């Protein structure tokens, strides 16, 4: 069900997010120290709240799980496979995906931890926590398959299990006790790669 949604409806729904264009204040437009390109867009917590008004409520869980998935894949490839993410003069992973960033602008752009996506949804009761468990197996399968697909394309010097372990050990992926939904996904992935 999740994979079907991701492949057939997610792209249409994600276009409902009011993305902001990233303006890198401390970099020249041609040479960004964060390796962002001119087409980089981002969204923050307010855009998550807004988009929930325009998506079919029956798709809430699938939409936000898919959004979480692309953010952690993008974050992981950027951090742990940077040579395969973007290189001067040509793009590899980035060109193929053009995934948005999850973050905010203050004194320059900063990434937000992916768990915040679920924190916002939990606080506002936008998604049903009880329904999330129904998607763990589908999420694990889809996440691992998407990683395999990208790894075949970009051919990084890391295997998928190590990539997922690095993600799960990343400071932005360490769940706190209050992060109920996020904990469910982290624990599901941990069990998958044992």
Q: How many domains does the chain have?
A: 1
- What are the two backbone dihedrals, phi and then psi, of residue 87, each rounded to the nearest 5 degrees? -130, 150
DSSP state of 175: P
DSSP 8-44: HTHHHHHTTS--EE---TTSBTTB-TT---TT-EEE-
pLDDT of residue 91: 66
User: In the predicted model, is pLDDT for residue 28 greater than 70?
Assistant: no
- For the segment 144-168, what is each residue's pLDDT rounded down to a tens digit? 999 999 888 888 888 899 999 999 9
How far, in Å, are 83, 92, 104, 169 from residue 80 at the CA level?
Answer: 9, 14, 22, 12
Most distant CA pair in the chain: distance in Å? 47
Question: How confident is the model over 31-56, as a mean pLDDT?
Answer: 83
pLDDT of residue 29: 59
Residues 6+ apart with CB under 8 A from 86: 35, 37, 92, 93, 94
Give the structural domain span for 67.
2-192
Count of Cβ atoms closer than 10 Å to residue 40 Cβ: 21
Report how far residue 135's alpha carbon sits from residue 133's, in angstroms, rounded to the nearest whole number: 5
pTM of structure: 0.90
Question: How confident is the model over 96-120, as a mean pLDDT?
Answer: 86
Question: Are the C-beta atoms of residues 26 and 33 closer than 8 Å to each other?
Answer: yes
Q: How far is CA 173 from the centre of its chain?
A: 11
Residues belonging to the chain? 194
pLDDT of residue 193: 79
Report how far residue 153's alpha carbon sits from residue 172's, in angstroms, rounded to the nearest whole number: 26
């Amino acid at each position: 069900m999740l994979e079907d949604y991701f492949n057939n409806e997610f792209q249409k729904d994600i276009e409902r997010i009011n993305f902001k264009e990233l303006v890198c204040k401390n970099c020249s437009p041609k040479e960004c120290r964060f390796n962002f390109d001119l087409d980089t867009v981002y969204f923050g917590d307010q855009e998550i709240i807004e988009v929930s008004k325009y998506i079919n409520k029956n798709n809430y869980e699938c939409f936000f799980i898919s959004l979480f998935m692309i953010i952690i894949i993008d974050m992981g490839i950027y951090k742990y496979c940077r040579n395969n993410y973007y290189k001067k003069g040509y793009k590899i992973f980035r060109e193929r995906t053009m995934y948005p960033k999850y973050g905010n602008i203050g004194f320059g752009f900063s990434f937000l931890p992916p768990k915040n996506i679920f924190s916002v949804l939990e606080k506002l009761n936008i998604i049903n926590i009880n329904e999330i468990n129904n998607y763990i197996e589908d999420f694990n399968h889809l996440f691992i398959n998407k990683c395999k697909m990208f790894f075949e394309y970009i051919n990084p010097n890391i295997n998928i299990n190590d990539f997922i372990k690095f993600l799960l050990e990343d400071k932005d992926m360490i769940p706190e006790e209050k992060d109920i939904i996020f904990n469910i996904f982290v624990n599901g992935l941990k069990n998958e790669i044992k």
